[in-house]
């Protein structure tokens, strides 16, 4: 059995939320839902979890302290309020229902930090002419106007790619996110998932193949130089590991280097 692939599979498996983490998160979501209904009533159209936790690509907090649950709160907004007003609604809600020490703003969200996970509450409205599409506060307008988003689009892309490529894509995303966290987040989580979901993986079968391919073609064109340097070092190290394992034959050395690059956590 290929030892490089064995290690990558083991690390990717270890980056999945365990049953206790899932249980705590689900309990917190049930509590949050009850409080939302009680506070907003008919002002709220719907609310739901979205983001990496629904795509099975979220990292455990022991690996990524910023790991969070994205939670969208969709308002009726009959009076056509601007995003800032709805953000204030969410702020007042969490200030009344949770300890102040658990709350802080992180535009365009309100962050609720519990002992086991963070929730990022995102205010939104739903245009009547779009199904499964929403407007959230737009960064480019200093969160004064709305930005179109469709949370299901990336989820569908990830799910489809995972099925197409031997159920290796979600594993691959978690591995790349893990490296990204250890390198002060060269990319956003969304950028990694979007890149992987759009990549055509020619001739890949094992997780190792997908990993080598994805690392080789990581996009760097729009990155600042210090981030480009990190990616280039990553690419060179991965190519070196591959070379020593397959061409030079120093398999113990190659596996050891891979374990330092992506250690078991």
Where among 135, 150, 165 does a domain terminate? 150
Coil, strand, or helix at residue 71? strand
Series of mean pLDDT values for 10-residue runs along the chain (265 residues): 93 95 92 95 94 95 92 94 91 87 69 84 84 82 79 94 98 98 96 97 96 98 96 98 95 97 95
Pairing relation of β-strands 109-113 and 134-137? Answer: unpaired
**Residue 164 and residue 131 in one domain:** no
Task: Give the range of the structural domain holding residue 180, as residue numbers without chain letter.
Answer: 3-15+154-261
**Residue 41 and residue 132 in one domain:** yes
**Residue 43 and residue 82 in one domain:** yes
Where among 106, 126, 150 does a domain terminate? 150
**Residue 11 and residue 35 in one domain:** no
Of 22, 186, 15, give the one whose Cα is nearest residue 116: 22
CA distances to 50, 116, 159, 174, 217 from 239, in Å = 35, 37, 28, 20, 12
Total domain count, the chain: 2
Output the domain CATH number for residue 29: 3.30.460.90
Q: Token pair of 88, please?
A: 């204030």
Where among 121, 150, 179 does a domain terminate? 150
**Residue 115 and residue 45 in one domain:** yes
Read off the pTM: 0.92
pLDDT at residue 113, rounded to an integer? 84
**Residue 23 and residue 146 in one domain:** yes
**Residue 8 and residue 45 in one domain:** no
């Amino acid at each position: 059995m290929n030892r490089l692939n064995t290690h990558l599979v083991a690390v990717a498996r270890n980056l999945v939320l365990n049953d206790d983490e899932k249980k705590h998160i689900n309990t917190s979501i049930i509590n949050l839902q009850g409080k939302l209904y009680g506070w907003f009533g008919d002002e709220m159209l719907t609310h739901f979890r979205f983001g990496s936790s629904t795509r099975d690509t979220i990292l455990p907090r022991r690996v990524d302290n910023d790991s969070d649950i994205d939670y969208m709160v969709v308002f009726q907004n009959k009076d056509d309020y601007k995003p800032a007003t709805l953000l204030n609604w969410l702020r007042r809600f969490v200030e009344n229902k949770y300890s102040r020490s658990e709350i802080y703003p992180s535009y365009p969200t309100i962050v609720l930090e519990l002992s086991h996970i963070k929730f990022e509450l995102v205010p939104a409205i739903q245009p009547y002419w779009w199904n499964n599409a929403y407007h959230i506060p737009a960064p480019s307008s200093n969160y004064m106007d709305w930005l179109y988003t469709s949370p299901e689009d990336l989820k569908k892309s990830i799910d489809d790619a995972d099925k197409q490529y031997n159920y290796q894509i979600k594993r691959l995303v978690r591995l790349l996110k893990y490296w990204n966290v250890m390198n002060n987040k060269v990319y956003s989580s969304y950028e990694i998932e979007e890149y992987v979901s759009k990549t055509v993986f020619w001739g890949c079968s094992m997780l190792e193949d997908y990993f080598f391919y994805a690392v080789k073609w990581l996009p760097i064109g729009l990155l600042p130089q210090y981030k480009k340097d990190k990616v280039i070092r990553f690419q060179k190290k991965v190519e070196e590991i591959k070379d020593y394992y397959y061409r030079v034959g120093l398999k113990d050395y190659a596996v050891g280097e891979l374990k330092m690059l992506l250690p078991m956590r």
